[in-house]
Structure 1
Amino acid sequence: MGKSKKKNEWMGWAKTILIAVLIAFFLRSFVLVTSVVEGESMEPTLENGEIVLFNKFTYLFNEPERGDIVIINRPQKNYVKRIIALPGETIAVKNQTLYIDGEKYEQSFITETIQNYTGEIGPIQVPESSYFVMGDNRKLSKDSRNGLGFISEENIAGKSEFIIFPLNEWSMTR
């Protein structure tokens, strides 16, 4: 009877471990992904070396929104950028002021000094099913202005939820 009890206990642990592994696999494959921020293109919001948790599930039911920090899949590497303009919108930057569909858009997530590095843009219209993205550090960012072009919806892998490393930087991203 002692062997049977140990066998049942072992089977219980094996089932628990298997379920935990399956849940972790499901979350990693379909819901959450981590990404290491490389470079300075998203400073001051995200800094080089920080690990950010991205939610892959959110865009199955919701469209990306202006201001979302997203991970963009590209063949050579992934990029972390902020959505600035949505499909069908017209974007322009004149005298360091961002306009979306002719309306001034306040960029509260960056400083005025950083805004001054945005450059002149447009007006240009964002194609349907595409997005215009920029890094928060306009001086050093490769984005829709200078190399990435418009980002198609299928290339947006997830939305940034929060910084998980370093531990003293734990916070929600926005």
Structure 2
Amino acid sequence: MSDKNNKKSGGFGETVSVIVQALLLALVIRTLLFQPFSIPSGSMRPTLLEGDYLFVTKWAYGYSKHSLPFSPPLFEGRIWGSEPERGDVVVFKFPPDPSLDYIKRVIGMPGDTVQMREGQLFLNGEAIQRELVDELDNPDITEMARPVEVWRETLPNGVSYDTLDLSPNSIGDNTREFQVPEGHYFMMGDNRDNSTDSRFSVGYVPADHLVGRANIIFFSMSGGASPLEIWRWPSELRFSRLLNSVE
């Protein structure tokens, strides 16, 4: 009986050891390499849609306490830190409440001035190149049951991306001039008329609040469907978005 009990005990111990090792490996990967992230709102339409699931590159800007689960105050600042590029799509901690993750595009760098005038983005007093490229009539992308204008912006470093213009003269189309402090960034959503970003309650985002750069869409479901609802895949899976790079 003792030999059988020892074998059972040993087998159980090995199983626990394997589970603990797997959890530790997953924690290391999530902390240092990649973190999955789901899009909770439409603020980054048309670039990102609700139901998109991303991998976020954790090493892109180095590591801060916010790289770790629950943001334990083990150290200040960033380790092996590097600056994001203007135009990067970034996951960061919401400054007023760091328990919340936000995702926006880096528009203003430290020392920049940023302003919106009649829907036109100005950086350091210069208008950013902007052209009307499309009029979308696809509610899955725009959330609107009518055509929506799509404008392509090109930043000074050559990064181009599409933005939605849901309505003229919205509250975010005309702003004061923002002066980005050193060590901070100015974030904006691509869905300019439906984005809580640095023009509003987000404010300037400190460098140590950056979590990582959005890298690739590995899964996408429309209609509010969960990936676990496999029976909805044939009708709700956005095949065209799978494995797309985030730009």
TM-score relative to the length of structure 1:
0.81
Q: Is the 8 A contact 2:60 2:212 kept in 1?
A: yes
Q: Do structure 1's residue 45 and structure 2's residue 47 form an aligned pair?
A: yes
Q: Is the 8 A contact 1:115 1:138 kept in 2?
A: no
- Which one of 79, 88, 109 corresponds to residue 111 of structure 2? 88
- Alpha-carbon RMSD across the aligned residues, in angstroms, is 2.6
Equivalent-residue separation in structure 1 for 2:128 and 2:57 (angstroms): 26
Q: Is the 8 A contact 1:91 1:121 kept in 2?
A: no
Which residue does the alignment assign to 1:72?
92
Question: Residues 23, 90 of structure 1: CA spacing in aligned structure 2 closer, same or farther, 3 A cutoff?
Answer: same
Question: Residues 81, 120 of structure 1: CA spacing in aligned structure 2 closer, same or farther, 3 A cutoff?
Answer: same
Q: Is the 8 A contact 2:47 2:246 kept in 1?
A: yes
Total equivalences in the alignment: 163
Q: Taking every aligned residue pair, what percent have the same amino acid on both sides?
A: 32
Which residue does the alignment assign to 2:60?
58
Q: Which moved more, 1:103-112 or 1:156-165?
A: 103-112
Equivalent-residue separation in structure 2 for 1:129 and 1:90 (angstroms): 14
For structure 2, the 5+ residue unaligned runs are 1-14, 63-80, 130-152, 154-159, 221-236
Deviation per residue, 1:55-92 (Å, 9 max, x gap): 11010253111111111113342111111100111112
DSSP-derived class of the 1:145 partner: coil
Which residue does the alignment assign to 1:142?
196
Amino acid at match of 1:161: N
Q: Is the 8 A contact 1:85 1:131 kept in 2?
A: yes
Equivalent-residue separation in structure 2 for 1:122 and 1:66 (angstroms): 21
Greater helix proportion: 1
Question: Residues 127, 144 of structure 1: CA spacing in aligned structure 2 closer, same or farther, 3 A cutoff?
Answer: same
Once the 2 structures are TM-superposed, how far is the Cα of residue 122 of structure 1 from its aligned partner?
Answer: 2.5
Once the 2 structures are TM-superposed, how far is the Cα of residue 101 of structure 1 from its aligned partner?
Answer: 1.0
Which residue does the alignment assign to 2:178?
124
Question: Residues 141, 111 of structure 1: CA spacing in aligned structure 2 closer, same or farther, 3 A cutoff?
Answer: closer
Q: Is the 8 A contact 2:106 2:188 kept in 1?
A: yes
Deviation per residue, 1:81-132 (Å, 9 max, x gap): 1111001111122232211112222324224635955411222210011111
Q: Is the 8 A contact 1:55 1:159 kept in 2?
A: yes
Q: Do structure 1's residue 133 and structure 2's residue 197 form an aligned pair?
A: no
Question: Residues 88, 57 of structure 1: CA spacing in aligned structure 2 closer, same or farther, 3 A cutoff?
Answer: same
TM-score relative to the length of structure 2:
0.59
Q: Which moved more, 1:53-62 or 1:42-51?
A: 53-62
Which residue does the alignment assign to 2:161?
109
Once the 2 structures are TM-superposed, how far is the Cα of residue 149 of structure 1 from its aligned partner?
Answer: 0.6
